[in-house]
Every structure is written in structure tokens, then in C-alpha cells.
């Protein structure tokens, strides 16, 4: 081969390389543009980022999205006008699935007020618009106060119900709070929660499920009762299970249910705003009505402190679901101080054998008596007598 022929060959090889680069760049641009509104591609991005955070020990980095298991961004809130860029680096786009639920559980078509629950006022025919995907009045971090204030909450209806007055809510949410003997905590939580939920433009109702008597507390069973009793009132499509001692510190932590069960109290001051372990599902968590039924609710066998939330995490995984989370700089909570409760010595044993009981222990064998029910201004209160499940 002559020198000239070799040079020509060399040039041609470079030309092919340059062409390949151009083609790849065009494919990448097209992929990015088409993927921007495509949830699947966002999921891929999230999966990559989640892996990066996990492998780099950034799991609890305040800017890190924490999603364990296959990532989902089903209803991660996202809108550049509301979310600070620090939170938005991985959550930039409202997902298509963060829309009004459809089907039997769902909301109405646009412009048609929903007669069930999302309609602010069924007699008000002037309200025709669904609320925006991203609530416009969020403020971000909120100051939490432990001292009771004299707020009037004129927008809250008896029984602790609220809904937006100028648009049709996208979410019908029951907030279930297992309760006994913590009046100050309850007061502080209600004062914090109502303004946040109103700003989030959710159609919601707060249920306090109080366990009668002084026997061992059964948080899980109370939450099962809350689910059953709330559904007797209205067809809620989302359930938030909320400890009474956790005050939300940021209103961007939306009280809604994404496509996957969501652990909401990711960063708690007691744990220095770090997630203690990957499968934690305690504190505050959100599940759709369907998912909660699918996993047969919580187990009823956990009397005393601990383990029932871990059992729920196991149920979630056993059903092929996974726990999703908002970033730790948004999903922040302050824990109110209280005496440490007596831990259930059997909790690890129950956790180990839990799988055998998933289908027989939960909503399916729940027994209780409703002793009293009242609707004061800020919540719906139910006093219940729990019947321990018979050993199966
Ligand atoms: C774990 C408990 C969970 C509990 C979590 C955080 O150890 O039920 O601590 O608790 N699991 C077991 O005991 C098996 S906290 O300090 O927030 O009350 O939710």
C-alpha cells in the first residue's frame, strides 16, 4: 500500500467515526426529548441514580433520592416552580401517573364534579377545574410548634375534613392516627397538619383511632380499624398511617399515594434526619386502598412496641411491591418526646414467621367493637375495643 492510500484510509476511518458520533448524538437527543414525559425513562434515570446513591454511601444524603428496590417516581412531586433545584435534581417532572385516579375508585372527568369525595361542594357548580398537579401555595419548610395556638381553621369542616374551595381535589385521603393518651401530641399534630393538607389541595379527613383500656397498645390493629371505618364514610383512594408524635416539617412532602407504597417519615430529627435502615416503614406511611387490601392490611398479632411496620414492609415485598421515598430534605419530621414504650419481646419471632400468616392475619381476621364515634372540629374520633385474634 502506498503512503497516499494509507493516509486516505486513515481519513476515511475518522470520517466513519465522526459520522457514528453524530448519529449517536442524534439518537441520544431524540431519546432525551421523547423520554422527558415518559415515566419509564424517568424510572430508568431514577434507578441509575438510586444505585449511585446506594453504592456511594449517599443513601441519606439530603439531596439523594432514596428508593429501595426497583425505582419508581409514580407520584413524586415535581415542578421547577415549586421545588427548589436542590430537591429537583432528580425529580424534575410531574409524572403522568400523578393524575386523577380512574376507574371505579377514581375521580371524575375533567370539568365534571365528582359526586363522591373530590368535589369540594357538590352544590357549587361553578367549580369545574381539577386542582393543579403541583399545589401552587406550598411554602417548603414549615415551623413546627409544640405549644397550642388559637388557630380557627375556618376551612376545616367538622370531623377534621378539608378540601380545596376553588378546584376539584385530585386525591381523596384518609389520615389514620392510632392513638391513646397523648392529648398534647395530638393537639400539636393537628395544628401542624391541617394547614399543610389545605395547602396541598387534598380532599382529606383525619381519623383518630383510640384504643380503649390500658392493655398493650396495638398500633397495627388500630390502623386496620381506621382503614375499615374510614371506608364506611367515603371511598378514600389513599390512606396515610400517621404516628401522633411526628410533625411534618415541609409541606412539599405530599400527603398522597404514589404508585408504590411510600414511606413518608424518611428523615426524623431523633435519627439526625437519617433513615435508620432501608426497609423502615414506620412513623408515617402511605398506601393506596387497593395495595392495603392486597397485602391484607397490617398483622394483628403485634401487641406492644415494634415490628408491625417491618412486617408490613415484608408484606409489601411479598406482593411484588416496593417502598418508595421522597428525598430526605423534604420528607422531614420532628418527633415529640415521650416515655419509651415497652417493646414486644415476641416481635422478632412474629417477624420470622410472618410470611405464613400474610393471608390469614390482617384485614381478613380483624375483630373489634366500635365503642364511640364523634366528630369534633378537627378530627373524626373513634374509640375501639380490640379483640385479640384467635391463634390460627
Ligand atoms: C425498629 C422497630 C420498628 C420501629 C423502628 C423505629 O427497631 O418497629 O425501630 O422505631 N422494629 C423492631 O423492633 C423489630 S422508632 O424509634 O421510630 O420508634 O418502627
354 CB less than 6 Å from ligand 1?
no
- Residue with the bigger pLDDT between 74 and 170: it is 170
282 CB less than 6 Å from ligand 1?
yes
Q: In which band, very low, low, confident or very high, does the pLDDT at 10 lie, cut at 50, 70 and 90? A: confident
347 CB less than 6 Å from ligand 1?
yes
Q: Which atom of ligand 1 is nearest to the CA of 306?
A: 8
Q: Which atom of ligand 1 is nearest to the CA of 348?
A: 14
The residue to which cell 372540629 is assigned: 377
**Residue 172: pLDDT over 80:** yes
Q: Which residues contact 223 (CB under 8 A, 6 or more apart)?
A: 176, 178, 209, 241, 297, 298
113 CB less than 6 Å from ligand 1?
no
The SS3 assignment for 83 reads: coil
Cα(250)–Cα(261) distance, rounded to whole angstroms? 20
**How large is the greatest C-alpha to C-alpha distance in the chain, in angstroms?**
100
The CB density around residue 185, as the number of other CB atoms within 10 Å, is 21
| Coarse DSSP helix, strand, coil percentages of the chain, rounded to the nearest 5 percent | 30, 15, 55
Q: Report yes or no: 131 and 168 within 8 Å, Cβ to Cβ.
A: yes
Q: Whose CA is nearest to atom 11 of ligand 1?
A: 307
**What distance in angstroms lies between residue 350's CA and the mean position of ligand 1's atoms?**
14
Q: Quote the mean pLDDT of the chain.
A: 79
- pTM comes to 0.74
Q: Which of the listed residues 275, 284, 305, 309 should we mutate to test ligand 1's pocket, taking the one with most ligand atoms within 8 A of CB?
A: 309
- Residue with the bigger pLDDT between 12 and 240: it is 240
Q: Which of the listed residues 223, 307, 347 should we mutate to test ligand 1's pocket, taking the one with most ligand atoms within 8 A of CB?
A: 307
Instruction: Write the class of the CATH domain 138-386.
Output: alpha beta
Q: Which grid cell sits at 104?
A: 371505579
Q: What is the pLDDT of residues 25-76, one digit of tens each?
A: 776 666 554 433 333 322 222 222 232 223 222 233 333 333 433 333 333 3
Q: What is the pLDDT of residues 290-304, one digit of tens each?
A: 999 999 999 999 999
Q: Report yes or no: 324 and 253 within 8 Å, Cβ to Cβ.
A: no
Q: Which atom of ligand 1 is nearest to the CA of 351?
A: 14
**What distance in angstroms lies between residue 89's CA and the mean position of ligand 1's atoms?**
31
Q: In which band, very low, low, confident or very high, does the pLDDT at 246 lie, cut at 50, 70 and 90? A: very high
- Residue with the bigger pLDDT between 314 and 23: it is 314
pLDDT score for 348: 98
Q: Give the H/E segment covering residue 227.
A: helix 219-233
Q: Which atom of ligand 1 is nearest to the CA of 347?
A: 14
Burial of 189 (0-12, 13-18, 19+ CB in 10 A): buried
Q: Which atom of ligand 1 is nearest to the CA of 282?
A: 19
Q: Whose CA is nearest to atom 17 of ligand 1?
A: 283
309 CB less than 6 Å from ligand 1?
yes
C-alpha closest to that of 176 among 56, 298, 72: 298
Q: How far is CA 307 from the centre of its chain?
A: 20
Burial of 332 (0-12, 13-18, 19+ CB in 10 A): buried
**What distance in angstroms lies between residue 229's CA and the mean position of ligand 1's atoms?**
26
- Cα dist from 360 to 142, 259, 336, 337, 378, whole Å: 42, 25, 35, 36, 35
- Cα dist from 379 to 54, 156, 159, whole Å: 40, 9, 4
Cα(327)–Cα(254) distance, rounded to whole angstroms? 12
307 CB less than 6 Å from ligand 1?
yes
Q: What is the pLDDT of residues 106-117, one digit of tens each?
A: 333 222 233 344
Mean pLDDT across 311-338 = 97
- Cα dist from 311 to 162, 165, 362, whole Å: 32, 39, 11
Cα(175)–Cα(201) distance, rounded to whole angstroms? 14
Amino acid at each position: 500500500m502506498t503512503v497516499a492510500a494509507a493516509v486516505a484510509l486513515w481519513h476515511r476511518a475518522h470520517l466513519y467515526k465522526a459520522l457514528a458520533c453524530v448519529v449517536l448524538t442524534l439518537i441520544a437527543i431524540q431519546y432525551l426529548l421523547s423520554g422527558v414525559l415518559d415515566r419509564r425513562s424517568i424510572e430508568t434515570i431514577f434507578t441509575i441514580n438510586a444505585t449511585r446513591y446506594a453504592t456511594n454511601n449517599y443513601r441519606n444524603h439530603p439531596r439523594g433520592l432514596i428508593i429501595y428496590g426497583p425505582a419508581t417516581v409514580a407520584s413524586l412531586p415535581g415542578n421547577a416552580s415549586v421545588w427548589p433545584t436542590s430537591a429537583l435534581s432528580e425529580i424534575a417532572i410531574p409524572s403522568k401517573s400523578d393524575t386523577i385516579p380512574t376507574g371505579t375508585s377514581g375521580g371524575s372527568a375533567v370539568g365534571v364534579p365528582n359526586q363522591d369525595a373530590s368535589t369540594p361542594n357538590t352544590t357549587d357548580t361553578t367549580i369545574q377545574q381539577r386542582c393543579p398537579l403541583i399545589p401552587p401555595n406550598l411554602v417548603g419548610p414549615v415551623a413546627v410548634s409544640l405549644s397550642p395556638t388559637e388557630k380557627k381553621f375556618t376551612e376545616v369542616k367538622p370531623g377534621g375534613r378539608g378540601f380545596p374551595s376553588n378546584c376539584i381535589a385530585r386525591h381523596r385521603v384518609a389520615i389514620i392516627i392510632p392513638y391513646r393518651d397523648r392529648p398534647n401530641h395530638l393537639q400539636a399534630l393537628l395544628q401542624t397538619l391541617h394547614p399543610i393538607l389545605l395547602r396541598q389541595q387534598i380532599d382529606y379527613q383525619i381519623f383518630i383511632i383510640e384504643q380503649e383500656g390500658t392493655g398493650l397498645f396495638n398500633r397495627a390493629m388500630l390502623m386496620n380499624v381506621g382503614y375499615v371505618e374510614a371506608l364506611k364514610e367515603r371511598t378514600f383512594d389513599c390512606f396515610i398511617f400517621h404516628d401522633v408524635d411526628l410533625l411534618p416539617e415541609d409541606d412539599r412532602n405530599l400527603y398522597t399515594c404514589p404508585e408504590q407504597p411510600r414511606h413518608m417519615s424518611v428523615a426524623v430529627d431523633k435519627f439526625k434526619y437519617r433513615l435508620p435502615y432501608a426497609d423502615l416503614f414506620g412513623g408515617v406511611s402511605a398506601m393506596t386502598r387497593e395495595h392495603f387490601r392486597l397485602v391484607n392490611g397490617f398483622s394483628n398479632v403485634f401487641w406492644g412496641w415494634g415490628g408491625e411496620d417491618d412486617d408490613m414492609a415484608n408484606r409489601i415485598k411479598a406482593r411484588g411491591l416496593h417502598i418508595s421515598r421522597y428525598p430526605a430534605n423534604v420528607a422531614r419530621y420532628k418527633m415529640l418526646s415521650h416515655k419509651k414504650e415497652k417493646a414486644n419481646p415476641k416481635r422478632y419471632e412474629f417477624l420470622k414467621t410472618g410470611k405464613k400468616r400474610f393471608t390469614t392475619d390482617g384485614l381478613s381476621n380483624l375483630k373489634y367493637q366500635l365503642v364511640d364515634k364523634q366528630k369534633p372540629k378537627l378530627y373524626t374520633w373513634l374509640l375501639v375495643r380490640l379483640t385479640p385474634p384467635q391463634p390460627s
